[in-house]
Amino acid sequence: MNDDLILRVDAQTFADDTFKIADPSGLVIDAQLPGWAELRWHRDLQRRCGAELKWKIVRRHWGDLDHDLRRAIVKDIREALIIIVDPSLYRFAIERLVERAVNQPRRSWPQPFHEGFDGEAAHYEVESILDDSPAARVGEFLANDGLDLLETPDGLGPRDRIASRQSALAALETALGSVHNVRLFGARSGAAFAHVLDRQVWIDHLTAVMADMRYISPQQLLGGVLAIGERIQRVFDEGNRTSIDAIADLKDLVRERLVNDGHIVLPADGAPAGVIEMSSRETALLQAADIAAGYARTIYADIGLRAVCEEFKGVILNGSMVRDWSQVERPNSADWRIRR
């Protein structure tokens, strides 16, 4: 047996999200920190801001912290991957589409038309979040037998596969149950399957496998990328069990398929769950992730996406990696300031 195939979960990432129920935009921002972040500043910050650190508390005390402490905090939270789900972008897109179709601006629409549009726009938002999330691509991997043929042995042609994918996303929408859960799932699944969205992960994996294989199918390549992700356990803050259960179910199905396809071998004593919940009181990394997510939300709301990309290691917006670490020129951390 190839020891390289045996699944060993030897890394963790810790994620926390920020959202406001009263926010009509429905914006959700998730920050994911690597498990190796040192956080030497954590105890000092607790003494100044309280035992359980939250962004809104830290922001209030930021001006009173000394320069070295602020610089240490910045150094760590800039390592975060920021995942943004901004439903307003979907609503804006469909509103512009309808305005062009009826040749009238929204303010001129009659009230019954307004009401009908709002209902369709809400449904479009939910479908778009799920369709753009990594869950859609994972679903294709689970349904695909890996053969690039018009008609496959299981009897599913291209149209059947599209219908199967749509059915799977509809089932996911039903399981999540509410728009709020869908938004959180969009952000959290982006964190849980960030490796699927990272172009550099694909390049590195393809470079490695092509040294031994002359031909590789897209299905095999995706399986290898998903196998890489199985070596990382994602840890989320408690608070929305529905979204976590949906991601855990996907991770379990992926792991089963990877075993069946020969990408990984589970150890005899089993492997840790791919995604779990913990209380932020139990680990400093979840508290640090909350600070990173809150800061990213402040920048995104006040300045915009470009500023978020300049501050953090990587940024995913509505299911697409828009900035990775290699593209960012980082400013001097001594010049970093909390924007009030």
Q: Give yes or no for a contact between 91 and 119, defined as CB atoms under 8 angstroms apart.
A: no
**pLDDT: which is higher, 255 or 329:** 255
| % of the chain at pLDDT higher than 70 | 87
At residue 264, the pLDDT reads 85
Mean pLDDT in residue range 86-96: 93
pLDDT at 271 over 60: yes
pLDDT band of residue 233 (cuts 50, 70, 90) is: very high
Sign of torsion over alpha carbons 246, 12, 316, 164: negative
At residue 236, the pLDDT reads 94
pLDDT band of residue 330 (cuts 50, 70, 90) is: very low
Q: Give yes or no for a contact between 157 and 151, defined as CB atoms under 8 angstroms apart.
A: yes
At residue 2, the pLDDT reads 56
At residue 18, the pLDDT reads 82
- Strands laid side by side in the 320-323 sheet: 275-278, 232-237, 11-19, 28-34, 81-85, 314-317, 320-323
pLDDT at 118 over 60: yes
Mean pLDDT in residue range 72-76: 93
Q: What is the mean pLDDT of the chain?
A: 84
Q: Which of 36-50, 242-256, 270-284 bottoms out in mean pLDDT, i.e. has the lowest?
A: 270-284
CA–CA distance, 217 with 39 (Å, rounded to integer):
42
Q: Please report the DSSP string for 40-55 in residue order.
A: TTHHHHHHHH-SS--H
pLDDT band of residue 205 (cuts 50, 70, 90) is: confident
At residue 165, the pLDDT reads 63
pLDDT digits (tens, 9 = 90+) for 131-187: 999 988 888 888 875 444 344 444 555 555 555 666 777 888 888 989 999 999 999
pLDDT band of residue 266 (cuts 50, 70, 90) is: confident
Distance (Å) of CA 240 to CA 4, 140, 285: 35, 26, 18
CA–CA distance, 325 with 24 (Å, rounded to integer):
31
At residue 163, the pLDDT reads 58
CA end-to-end span of the chain, whole Å? 57
At residue 335, the pLDDT reads 45
pLDDT at 337 over 80: no
At residue 336, the pLDDT reads 44
Q: Give yes or no for a contact between 21 and 178, defined as CB atoms under 8 angstroms apart.
A: no
Q: Which of 161-165, 241-245, 268-272, 286-290 bottoms out in mean pLDDT, i.e. has the lowest?
A: 161-165
